[in-house]
Structure formats: C-alpha cells, structure tokens
Structure 1
Amino acid sequence: MPNVFISSTSELREYRQAAIDTCNSLQLVPIAMEYFPAMGKNAVDGCKEELAKSDVYVGIVAHRYGYIPDGYEHSITELELDYAKELGLECLCFVVDPNYPWSEKGRDYENHDSLERLKNKIDKSFIRVEFTSVDSFTTNLNKALIRWLQNNQGGSYAFSHSAYIKRYLSQLQDEITLYLERFVLSLVALRAESAPNKVQPSNLGKSPVILPTFFEASLPIKNTEPKEKETPRHFDNFEAAFSYFDQRVLLLGEPGAGKTTTLMTFALKAVTSSLENSSNPIPLVARIADWPSKDGPSLVEWLGVQTKLDLQILSQLHRAGSLVILLDGLDELRAESQRSFLESLEEGLGENRVLITCRVSDYENFEERLFLNGCVKLLPLTNEQIKRYLVDYPSIWNILRQESEFLETVRNPLLLSTLTFALGNDKDINQELHRLQALSDLPGDLRNSILSTFVNRLHEHERRKSNKSLAKITTLYTLLGELAAKYEEEDNTFAMAVLQGWHRGKTVLETAQLLNLVIVEDEHMIRFAHSIFQKHFASSYWLETFSSSLEDVLSIGVEFNEDMLAAFTDARLSEFLIKGLESGDVDDLTRTIKFLTLIREYPAETSSGWSDLREVQTALNKLLVQVFTSKLDNADPDIRYYGVMGLWHTLGDEGSIDPLLSSLSDDDEEVRSLAAEVLGDLRIEQATPALIRATNDPSDQVRDSAKWALSVLTRKNKNLSP
C-alpha cells in the first residue's frame, strides 16, 4: 500500500490526526511524527529516511514556522518539503485561510518573515489548497489523495476506492439509523420488515411492526417498458413492488402514510446489502426540496453536493449503473423548479435504479409525468394492522373499533402512533378518548386534537426528565404556529434566524428540537420533522386567529359550523366583506383583510365539500389580488400599506409582481420597507434588480429590508458547486 508522509508543526495535532485517519480510511499508510521510531541520529536525517520510503508528501502549514534544528537556517518543516521535492514526490500542501480565527498561542511572530517566505514558496511551486476547520481540511485532503491515487496508482486505486465507498456507506448507515430512531421509529413503527440486527437500533426491539400493503396506482406515468394493462396488484412489502417495476418506482401516499419511512428503511437495507457485497448497488439519499429553483445542475453534480461524495468517483459509479437513487419529497419541489428537475432526472438517470416519493394530491396536479416504470401507493392501515399495532393496548383497540371517526382517523400510521403515545399510559383511556372527541367541532379537528394531546404529553414527559429549561407549551404553539402558517407549505424549510430573532425564539427552537418536532438541516435552516406537524401548528395558529375574528361576522347571522362552504358563500358575508373593502376607514379595512386572508388560508380538506370550497378560495384569491392592487393607489399611506400586506397573503405564482415593484418607489417608507420584505419572503427572484436598487434608498429601514430580502434570495438559490 502507498505510504503518505505527513508534515506539520507540532501544535497541529488535530489536523495531523485527521490526516492519519483519512489515510487509514483510504487504506494508505500514514507516516507521521507519531509513528517515527526512536532514532540514534538527528531529526533531519530521520525525516529524510522516512521520506525516502514515501510515495506522496502532505504538508500542513498554519501560523507557526516550526522547529529550526541546530546548524540549519530553515525549519524542519521546510526542510521536509524541500527534500520531498528533491526526491520527486508529489507534494500536496494545505495552507490555513489567513482569515480563519486562530488562537494567539498557535501563532509564531518571531519567525513571521520565514513563515511568509515558506508560504510564498508553496504558492509558486506546489499544489496548494486552503483549509479552515478540521472538517474542511479532511474533506480537501480526502479529495486530493483520491485524485493522486487515480493518477498514480493504477490498479491499487480500486482497492482504495472500495475503502472510500465503505466509509461513505458506514456514515450513511449511522445517519439513517439516527433519523429512524429520532423521527420515525420512536413514533411510527411502520416498516416493511425488520432490518438486520447489526444495524437495528437496540432500543427498538419491542416496537410493534406494521407491514404496509401497496397497490399499483392508476395515475399516469411515462413507462420505459410499458407492461400489459392489468388490475391493481397488491404487494406485501416494498421490495416486491420495487422489483416488480424493474427498480424504477414512484411511491405515492398521503401525509403521514409512511413515504419517508419506507424510503429510509429501504435505504438502510440497501446500505447493509452493499456493505455485505460490494457488487450490490450503492444507495444515495437526497431531498428533492434542495433542488435549486432554476438552471439546475446535472443530476450527478447535484447528487455529489447532497451526498458529499467525490464527483469523479460518483461519476464512475453512475456510468456503471451502480447506484440506487432515493429521492424524497417530489411534492416539496417548487413550481418553477419542476421542469429543470424532471429534465435533469430523465437525462441523467442512465442505467441506475431510482425511487421517488410524492404526495398523491400533489402528483395529480403535476403538469409533467415521471419517466419511470410504475408507481405504487401506500394504502391506509387495515383493521388487522391497527389491531396488531395495539396488541399491548387492547383497551384502545376496543374503543377504536366502536368509534368510526376515530378508526378512520388512525388509519394514518403517524396519527395511530401519536395517539398511542399520548394515551398509552392513561388510566382512563375511554374518558380521554371522549375528551378528544369533545375538542373536535369540525371534520378533521380530531386529527388536531390527537396531535395536540401528543405534543402536550411529549412536552410534559421531557419536562420531567430533562434538566433543560423548556419553552412553555403556549409559547411553543404561538411561535411554531406563526412560523408554520407564514411560509408556503410546499417549501417546508425555514431560516433558523427567523425563529431565533423572535422573543423566546431560541428557547422554542431548542424545545422543538428536543421534542423531535423539527429537523435542523444545517447551521442556517430548519424544517418540521413531518408535514403533518407543520399543518397541525399552522392550523392551530389559524383557528385561534380565526376565532378571534368571528365576532363581527357572527353579528350578521352567518353561522360557521361543519358546512364551511355554505358560510363562505353566504350572500350576507359577501355584502359584509365588500362593505369593509370599500371603507375608507383603516380599522375596517384591516379587519376585512385579516378575515379574507383567513378564509383563503382555511384548511379546506377539513371541511365537507372541500373540493368546492377550494374552488371558492381560488376564485376569492384572484378577486383579492385585484382589490389589494387597487388599494395601492389610495391617497392614505396606511391603506396602501395594507394593500401591500394583502398582496403578501394572496399573490400566487401566476400573479403579477409589478404592483409590489412599484411599491418600492412609494412615497411612504413603511410601504417601501414592507414591499421589500414581501418580495423577499415570497422568494421572487425577478425582483432582485429592484431590491438591489432599494439598498440605496434614503431610509435605513428600507435599506435593511432590501438587504434582508436579497439575503433570503441568495440563501435560497445559492449556486451548487461540486
């Protein structure tokens, strides 16, 4: 195996250890000062002897020049570099970013000139890469050594390549296991079959098992090899369905039905299979929501960024058809990104296997159809599956089977598991179930009642066992509810700074993480662990706000009950709202805008006749855009302000942004500032030039709003580079 000589000053112990670990992972032999034998000769001769055994040199230079041996003008670090060059070794040099924070103890001011001369020598004569943290150094070293192996070691590279892939698979295995333990299996014991013991989390042994059933969906897709038309086919596990459709499958399901769970457990088994037999395909897992909004990269380039795999290795595996690509959440793809993603997928799939998940309703509304062999759909749980899940809670099952509304609600695996967690230890389950029913005034409210009880019990459980200070449950619902209601559901990713910037926001974020309600994507972004949680918090926030706005309209005789369609189409309500919109009074207009916004955002699926109600909301939304746009010409700046506010809630993908762009030039700075925030919050990229101009606005408030909006657009659409 090739030998790698690692050179650095003594204080860089963590970086040197990272280099040793990287060499070991690639099955290279590290030669570092830690491994030097006791020598009866001077240090320079000893280092030269070790260099003579080496195949490649790795130098790490930060802010110290290093030890200068007696009788020499240069440090031993520089002497090692010079001798490596003399031997003809390829020298891979890593120099710290001068702007990266560094401790004073790690700086050498006495030999500063010599250190700068050494760095200049490296710049002019050697391959050089800057590094910052230990992680960044490790990533860069790993890539450099792999490329060196590719260029110099011929057949030996295949051996190291295998070690590199094995390390990737082991890391992916740990990540999936942690995800399943925290966000799925601890709440939802839904899986196609048990994973091998060596990768199964030890504390999940007693989890009840639900074997999901699948059937061939009737939704149209493009088929690479069309099969003869046949009746829907049922499968006992996903592996059978994946095999039946020649390993190119679309998996559909309702929110909480187990799409991500199925994908992740399938990925875990694929990881195990690949680790056991290197000829089996290598799984890649990615969220489709992370696809850039436009001008997307190639599929391989994007997967390289998402998985952090070396692009050259990934390209080789892709060309060989050695990948099983697992993509979660087609429903989270923004409308403007659909064509780019689908084109890259169709062009870049090659001979590789693929699984894509999506919600049923979202796929039905897709303009394009996936170029796959077939799709399967997760069915609601059967009575037998529910009974099997509740084998340790017979009292819950005995009540559920007699309550049709409850039984239909918990056919959703996520809701069944949350109900079990919430009620499993209750002494009087019957009384608690009736309490949940009493909280449910509208169809669909039972789901919210179950989730509310679950969150409260989870909060109470953590409060008792944790030493950390938790946010109060009311504060948790207020801030998470506003966050969930504020952002478009299809995006489901939020800037962490938004929540942290609110009063008590930091504590709420810590509590939400502790309760596994949210997932931190990276150091800047968070998302709800399940879309059902986001809907629940948004709905709770909406219902509380809606209830506080009912007083005025109730006085005119409009009834709000189970038939919300009748209420929203009541002529008396229409007259009341028109009067409010035509009013010149700011308070009247504010109340009307607020109520109209609530009508538009009402969760239609919780109401009977919801499809008709959704049509009413869509028509209302188009009308509101016209109404709010007309308010932008009003002489009263307060009314213009609320016109912009109204467009914030009603302007969809098809609406014109010209009124908002015009508002950036409004005479009132409050209007200009709000317009900038709205353009940023709606992620309207076409507004970028106007927002750049707004950064020169005479008002500090407007400039700050424009800068914030641009930062949102930049963060959302940052360029992907492998």
Structure 2
Amino acid sequence: MNAPKRYQIFISSTYSDLIETRKKISEHILSMNHIPAGMEMFSANGKEQWNTIQKSINNSDYYILIIGERYGTISETDGISFTEKEYRYARKIGLPTLCFIPDENYQTTRANRESDPEKIKKLSSLIEEIKGEQLCSLWSSEDDLIHKVSAALYKIFTDEPRTGWIRGDSGDPEVLTKLVNTMEENSQLKKQIQQLEESNKTKLPIISLHINNIDLSDHDLVLKILEPDDLPELKLETVKPNFDKNDIPEDLTPYINDEDITFYNERNPSVQKVDEYNSEMKYFEQVHSISTLLQISNSGEIKANNLSVKITFPDAVEILDAKSIEDIKKPSIYFPTSPIDLAIKRKEDEGKEKNIRGFASHNLFGLSPRSDIQYAHSSHSMIPFLSRSLVNEDCFYISDENSKVIIGRVKGVRQDCISTISHNFKLIPLKKGDFKFTISILCDEFSKWNTREFTLTII
C-alpha cells in the first residue's frame, strides 16, 4: 500500500508580532501530518542566512504568506523586508503560494503595529502588489486564520499536487511518522522552554520621560519658535528716514537750523541697528514667554530606584538656567527727537519770559530717549506643576561640561506613577527642522544604561 505524501510548507511572516500565530499554524500543519518550515530554524539577517532561506524555500512544496500590521526587518542589500524578499523569491521559482491578509476587523496591540512612516508605505505597497498578482484570503483572528489556512491547503493539495517528501511508490510511512513525532516533540519542548524563560524573566520598571506633556515613548518632541503674533508683549520698531530740509513746512523754517538736522541724522538708528534691536527683543520676549515642564513616569510593575538621567540635545536647542535668563537684559534703542517736533515746541514756547534759549539749547543737546516707547516686563511662571513634585533630593540641572546636556537624579519613581520634576531651566528652540537627541536612563533595576534616540521637531 502506497504511503501518503507529506508536504513541506514554508510559512513566511514578520516574526515578533506574529510569533504565536505562526506557532499555531505550524502545530496545525503538523496535525495534518505535513511539515512546516520557516524562520524559526534560522536567523534571517545576512547573505549566509539568506542562502539558507532560499534552500528551505526550494525544498518546500507550498508557500504560505501571512501579513499582519508590520513590514518587518529590512535587508541591507535590497532595501526591502525579508518577508517581501521571501515572497518574491517563491513567486520567482513558481512555488504555489497562499496569501492571507488582515481584513478591516483585524485588531492587534500598538507594539505590533508599524510606526515607521516609510515602512507603513512599503507594507501598503506590498499588499497592493499581492492583491494584483493572485487571490488572497482575508483574516480577522487566529482561529479564523487557522480555519482558512486549513481549507486553502486541502484545496491546493487537490488542485496543484506536488512531489512531496515521500513518493507513493517507495516511501516508508513509519520513518515519516517518526520524523513527524520528533518534530511535534521538538515543538512542545520549544514551547516549554519559552514558558520557563517567561516565568523566570525579571520584572523591570518601564521609564518614560515627558517634556511639555509629550510622552516621548509614544511621540516626537515638538518645540515652537514663537512668532510676533504669539508674543503679546513684543513691541518692534520700524526704520525712520533721515531728515531733509525740503521736509520743513514754511511756517517752521525759522525754528530749525542745520545743527538740528545734522544732530538728528547722525543719531537716527540705521536699518541694521533697528533689525538687531527687533531680533534681540523677540529673543528676550520668547525666553520669558516659554516654560518647560519636565515629568517622569513608570508604567512597569515595580518601582524604579535611584535613577540617573542624561538628556543630550542638538545645537538647535539652547538650554538656559535661571541665572542665564536673569542675565538676559531687555534691549533698548534710542530715537532722537524729530526736528519738526523740536520746531513745533520752540514755536509754542516762543514769547515765554524765562530761559527760552537755554530751554531750547537743553532740548537740542540734552535729549533723552522717546517717552512714548514703553518696555513692559511681563511676569511668567517658570514651571507649571501638573502633578506632585518629587522630594528635595531629586533635581535636574545643566551639565557643567556640556551646555547641551541635562543631568538628572531621581530617588525613586513608583509603578503606575507620573511625577513632575523640579528644575530651573528652559528649552529655547533656535532653528526650525527635524533633529535627533538622546535620553539615557540608569536605575538599580537595570544592568546597564538604557539609551534611546528620539526625534525633535522645531516648528
């Protein structure tokens, strides 16, 4: 009696987000007395490993592609994910292919969704390519997927039979049965090992930093360069033209002399000086209008003790402490009194009994800045506290060695807690664009520094 065929079925998908789904599909294929194959047997991250993957696909009878909501690790040589690379190779060699794409009801966790915009675009493009090349099955849950994989395999076994690992006229069913039993035992052992590793895994705190109410574990940091419309206290000056004799009304001619005109024109601020004043004034108001809120949270299951934090910002950000802010003085600019105003005043004072000439001379050579220019200092809160402050031992300060680095010491952060950190600095954005900055965290529960890179967008 001829032994039944045993087909090898290559399972392709992204790994970390669909690991449990892959296991269930593999177990189901084993229960059908067929042989699953896939990335569990090798590490797909290099030329040598890719050669192994190709051999495994070459030795398989059918190819299954399971798409979730991640695009996967990108190959450095091709610029596409290994999952897409496997699919293209299977199609190239003519391997019968079954594709399963999530439908609109498919739900997964945030960690299992793609967050990189470029990868999201690549994933969408791959799905559209697959739909255009062959029929696909839509799935919404693991149970739904297993049912559809099973039905699709039975159909393709009939419609497109393959050679299989044992020919009907020469196979030994006992050998294959032993092989299948061994693989089943191996799968069970792997599951037990994973369960043991999970049970023995040390629980750790999960620390996140929040700046201006932005949780950096979920979002990029956004800072805004304030414009004049955002600064209610900002008063900018405009350039005033030099005075010319032709500008003198006929009735004021006796009251204006050449010295008045020369005095005014020599002291009238240039375009450059007015621009410099306006720039300094905008910077002054921005510094006193911006506040920086710094918080730290622990979403883990245990308390974090004795935290050290190091935040390294790019040159696009200036970090000012209270002393530096105090040293930034409000700018001023002097505009001399217009000869026309002087002439009107002299004409009005003509006929007065005392010190008319002395008074006029005083106005000419002892001029003071315009009285109509008002410079008001507004009161700004340095730090708006949104939750309880940490104890006095906790603090954040600017590094003495690098003005772009903030150092922090926190005695402890309890689990499921977010706390506002006392500090006396402000983050001042200097130029627009996207930049990178890093945050390093160490606590008693970590074996080494945990360093991550984040994106800062300045608008």
Give the TM-score category using the shorter length.
0.3 to 0.5
Normalized per residue, which structure has more helix? 1
Normalized per residue, which structure has more strand? 2
Relative CO higher for 1 or 2, CA cutoff 8 Å, sep ≥ 6? 2
- Normalization by structure 1: what TM-score? 0.21
